[in-house]
Every structure is written in structure tokens, then in C-alpha cells.
Chains A and B, each alone.
Chain A
Amino acid sequence: MKKAPIFIAGGVIGLLAALLVKFGNPVNMGICVACFYRDIAGALGLHRAEVVQYIRPEIIGFILGAFILALAKKEFRPRGGSSPLIRFVLGFFVMIGALVFLGCPLRMILRLANGDLNALVGLVGFVFGIFIGIQFIKKGFSLGRSYKQATVNGYVMPAFAIILLILLLAQPAFIFFSQEGPGATHAPILLSLIAGLIVGAIVQRTRLCTVGGFRDAILIKDFHLLTGLAGIFVVALISNLIFNPAAFKIGFVDQPIAHTEFLWNFLGMTLVGLGSCLLGGCPLRQTILAAEGDTDAAVTVFGLITGAAFAHNFGIAASAKGVPVNGQIAVLIGLVVVLAIASFIVWQKQQAQVKTNVKEGVQVG
């Protein structure tokens, strides 16, 4: 069983997600990378939606867990310079799509594992977005190569995580903590932090990625990462039935922190799938890469956080009530911008290839 380790690795993530719900995280939100960055943006006062402000220890754990393991395995390599500004924009719109759907791809899997069929609509949109992204990649889409950077660059992200940890523990008056709503619903700090460290370490080792799972299956018929995603789904489903049986419910209506607007669940996740495919990884994977010293991924993370701040400052983010008009417009703008960026890069590449008549990177030796 060559695929057993990756299935088990995904399974541990599914189990931890269910346990985090049992010990206090919002239902169907044991782990949600998008929601958690949104809560952090709120805690830092970057948006003022009072119900979603909390410094999520899971995120701190993802970063530090991956950083420590990357150091230990000599995989910590500060690097950058692969279209950082475009990555920021892509990260920004990935977050817009996620907050219109209400969750990152990982939460989408977790929602599905608890019977929320709206997540199935999201999944179809997500895979559709990845499929579009793959067409661009096949035509030569690339954000260019990164280069080695001075070591200090790689320490910025772990330092950011440690500062967040200090702010979380010290709780100074200028940091916002929700008194009610999802932001006030959370597992004990230590438990969240340990779960985050474990997930960070697992994803660092296994390279698990929600986008990569579907992308590799479609693009090169490689089901390695997809097996890991299956592990998350199956174990989260079983664990939910064991630990949170009261919350398990199959259907579309009255699902926790979700809405039933098919079109926007679909298009929101199309934007997430497309944007993440072009970035080379989902929000969780970007977080892990950032912790390993990839400063382009770190810029993407700050794009995600900025997107979250905008989403709540400009009435873009969805709620259980549905998707506001601003959110619908923002998703459409996001799709146009992301498609325009991808088309422009592919067009330029094809122009260059006509001139030189060689495939990029291939030299006859």
C-alpha cells in the first residue's frame, strides 16, 4: 500500500479538525485557513466585523510547525522573486472567493464531511476553477522562477507568527477579540496551537495541498495528493459521527456558517480554484511554503489577509443570510482580473516562443 501514508496523514488532519470542533471551534470549522486569516485580520483591527476577530492559534501552529520541521530537514530555503505583486493580487482574490463561499478548500472538505451539500456545489466550482487553471498551465502559464534570498528573508514569517502568539497571550487592549459569534467560538489556546503545529508539520512533510490533489489527478493522472484529501474527508466524517454526532446533518438548508446560494457557492470556489491553481497551491499550502522560506508565498499570505480585510470593510463577505451584492460583484471582478492576468502571461509567452521557436527551459545539449 504505497498510498497508505498519505491517506493516514490526511486522516490525522481530519481527526484534528473534528476534535477542534469538539473542544470549541465553530461547527464545520475545525480548520479553515481563510476564516482563520480573516479572524486574525479582524483581531489586528484591519476590519471591524465584531463577530470575526480572534488570533487563531492554529495559523501560528501551521507556520511554526512547518518552519521547525523545514529547519530540521534542511528544507528551509529563503527564496523569492517569482512575480510577488501578481501573487499578492491572486491571494487577495482567492480570499474574496473563499469568503463568498464561506471557507477555504479545506473547510469545504470538512463541511462536506459533516453533510453540508452546499460544499458539494463549491467542490464542483473548485474543480472547474482548477480545470481552467490547468489549461493556462498547459499553454505555458508561469509566474517565473524564484531565486535564493538572504537568510533573514525567511525569518520574517516565523517572526510574524511569534508576534501573533505574544499578542494572543498578552491580549493588549488594541487587539480585538470577539465577544460573540464565530470569533468567540474557539478551542482552548494550547489545544489549537498543538493541533496547528501537528498539521503544519504534516503538510510540510507530505506536501498535502487541496489544489494539488485535483490538479495532479487531472493534469498528470497522479492520485497521490488526492488520496490525502480522501483521508481528510473519510476520517473527518467518521470522527464527526463519533465526537460531534448532534451536529451531523445531511442537506442544504440551515447548515452552520453557510448559505444556499448555488451560483455564488459555485463561482466563489471557481475563483479560489483558479487563483490557487495559478499560485501553485491552496491557502494552507501557501502558508506552509511561506514558513519554509518562500517569500513569494508569504506575500500571497499577506494578499489573503488584505483580501479578508477588504471583504469585511466593503460588505463583500457572505454570511448565513446569503451573499451581498458587493460580494457578487467582487467575485465577478476577481474572475475577470485573474483570467486577464493569466491570459496576458500566456499571450506574452507565446509571442516570445514564436520569436525563438524553442520551448522555454529546454536546451539542446
Chain B
Amino acid sequence: MAKATVDARGRSCPEPVVMTKNALDTYKDDVEIIVDAEVAKENVKRFAENRGFKVKISEKDDEYILHITK
């Protein structure tokens, strides 16, 4: 179970990334981001990887859960 789960489904750019940033600032690592758009998935992944995090993605019913860890 991750430290925190962020529900970024249905959000416009760049909100999923900003929400991810806020969560990582607060919890440092081990957070889950739920998104429902390919664009948001790519953006959050690129953002986290650029900051040196590992991203594991699982897909379920057109939704993606990105598990971000150090």
C-alpha cells in the first residue's frame, strides 16, 4: 500500500503533474497517481522520471495507476 493515493482522473493539463509534484513534496516517495488519459500518464511518468523516481504503471478499465518510488 502506497503512502498516498492521488486521484488525478479527468484533470486538464498540467494538473495531474502539479498534483503529483505536491504529493511527492509532501510524502517524498511511494505515492500512487490514478489517471484516465494517455496524455496525463505520459506527463506524470516523464515528470517523475526526470526527477529520478521509478515509475511502475498498471492499467485497469481505461485507467492507469502510476506507482512512483525512489
Interface residues in chain A, defined as those with a beta carbon under 8 Å from any beta carbon in chain B = 73, 75, 77, 79, 81-82, 137-138, 142-148, 207, 209, 212, 215-216, 219-220, 222, 224, 279-281, 296, 359-365
Contacts and interface: CB of A to CB of B under 8 A. Distances in A.
B47 A222 contact: yes
Nearest to A146: B10
A365 B10 contact: no
Nearest to B38: A75
Nearest to B32: A365
Interface of B: 1-15, 17-19, 21-23, 26, 32, 36-39, 42, 46-47, 50, 62
Contacts of B26: 359, 362
A51 to B, nearest CB: 35
B50 to A, nearest CB: 6
A362 B27 CA distance: 10
B38 A365 contact: no
Residue among A82, A207, A280, A365 facing the most chain B CB atoms (10 A cut-off): A365
Contacts, number: 82
30 contacts: A75-B38, A77-B62, A79-B10, A142-B11, A145-B9, A145-B11, A146-B10, A147-B10, A148-B36, A207-B42, A215-B13, A216-B14, A219-B14, A220-B14, A222-B50, A280-B12, A280-B14, A281-B12, A359-B22, A359-B23, A359-B26, A360-B19, A362-B4, A362-B19, A362-B26, A363-B4, A363-B6, A363-B7, A364-B3, A365-B1
A41 to B, nearest CB: 25
Contacts of B10: 79, 81-82, 144-147
Secondary structure class of chain A's binding surface, majority of residues: loop
B23 to A, nearest CB: 6
A362 B22 CA distance: 9
B14 A279 contact: no
Shortest beta-carbon contacts, A-B, top 10: A280-B12, A145-B10, A146-B10, A280-B13, A365-B5, A361-B6, A75-B38, A361-B7, A361-B19, A363-B5
B3 A365 contact: yes
Contacts of B47: 220, 222
A300 to B, nearest CB: 10
A215 B11 CA distance: 16
Contacts of B36: 77, 148
A73 B42 CA distance: 14
A220 B21 contact: yes
Contacts of A148: 36
Contacts of B12: 82, 142-143, 146, 279-281, 296
A238 B39 CA distance: 31
Nearest to B7: A361
